[in-house]
Structure 1
Amino acid sequence: MAHTPVNHPARPIYRAIGGLTGLYLVVFGVLGIITSTGNEILAQDDTQVLGQGTNLGFSLLTVLVGIVVLIGTALGRNIDVAINQWLAYALMVVSLAGLAFIRTDANFFNFSITTVMVVMAAALVLLMVGMYGKVGSDDEAEAFQKARLVL
């Protein structure tokens, strides 16, 4: 994308924020697995972890997403940018679907309002990290600066 900054001066900070977001997702998921062990995978009960409604299925999904974010952060080289952006969009869809089905039998991930807000916040953080973490050559950075000045 031409409007995405290349070699942003704060990209190490954004990369660290992405790693911390992935770490939070893994910790939440592991705690959710521990708390909901013995329940059905998509149980709709009062299981809560860190104030958020969850079940074994959502906890497993959260661990998987967190590990993918951490792997992308460790690899870098714009792989993390693509991973963070795509997972951000996926988490937004999951969050909005959870909000739409929160008081119905279709609430498969046992979402609460707090869960919706935290998942959406994590998605927005990952999207921001993906937007400002792009790395490129000096020529690409110069081309971005020239295009930015034209706009």
Structure 2
Amino acid sequence: MAHTPVNHPARPIYRAIGGLVGLYFVVFGVLGIIASAGNDFLAQDDTRVLGQGTNLGYSLLSVVLGLLILAGTAIGRNLDVAINTWLAYALMVLGLAELAFLQTDANIFNFTVATDVVVLTLSLVLLMAAMYGKVGTEEEKEAWQKARLVL
């Protein structure tokens, strides 16, 4: 894709930002597991962690997603770009689906408005990190520069 930067000068910063998103999901998930211990897996109660609604199911999902993001960040080699892109889109779908079912029994992950805002924001940050984290050869970088400068 000619519009995706290759070897962006701020690539390490964006990679670190992606890692921080993964770290947030892991910390949130672990705190959620601790807070929702003893509850049903998909309980719809008043369990809150960091001001967000959660249950054991969403907490475990957060840990898994966070570990995936951190693994991609640690490995690099454009694997982080692929993982961050796909998980960003998946988090957007999850956030919008949960927003649609917020006040119903279909709110299986016990989301609140705050949880939705955080999930959708982190998905956009993760997508941004993916867009600027691509690594390529010098030829790919030159092709991107030439395509970028075409009016």
Q: Normalised by the shorter chain, which TM-score bucket?
A: over 0.9
Which segments of 5 or more consecutive residues in structure 1 lack a partner in the other structure?
Answer: none
Once the 2 structures are TM-superposed, how far is the Cα of residue 44 of structure 1 from its aligned partner?
0.2
* Aligned pairs (5 A) from 1:4-43: 4-43=4-43
How many angstroms apart in 1 are the aligned matches of 2:45 and 2:148? 51
How many angstroms apart in 1 are the aligned matches of 2:16 and 2:120? 19
Runs of 4+ in 1 over 6 A off after TM superposition: none
How many angstroms apart in 2 are the aligned matches of 1:149 and 1:51? 45
Question: How many aligned positions are there?
Answer: 151
Q: What do you get for the CA RMSD once the two structures are aligned?
A: 0.5
* Aligned pairs (5 A) from 1:130-141: 130-141=130-141
Corresponding residue for residue 144 of structure 1: 144
Once the 2 structures are TM-superposed, how far is the Cα of residue 31 of structure 1 from its aligned partner?
0.2
Once the 2 structures are TM-superposed, how far is the Cα of residue 2 of structure 1 from its aligned partner?
1.5
Once the 2 structures are TM-superposed, how far is the Cα of residue 150 of structure 1 from its aligned partner?
1.3
Q: One-letter code of the match for 2:33? A: I
Corresponding residue for residue 93 of structure 1: 93
How many angstroms apart in 1 are the aligned matches of 2:44 and 2:31? 17
How many angstroms apart in 2 are the aligned matches of 1:138 and 1:2? 14
Once the 2 structures are TM-superposed, how far is the Cα of residue 124 of structure 1 from its aligned partner?
0.3
Could you state the TM-score of these two structures normalised by the residue count of structure 2? Answer: 0.99
Could you state the TM-score of these two structures normalised by the residue count of structure 1? Answer: 0.99
Which segments of 5 or more consecutive residues in structure 2 lack a partner in the other structure?
Answer: none
Corresponding residue for residue 115 of structure 1: 115
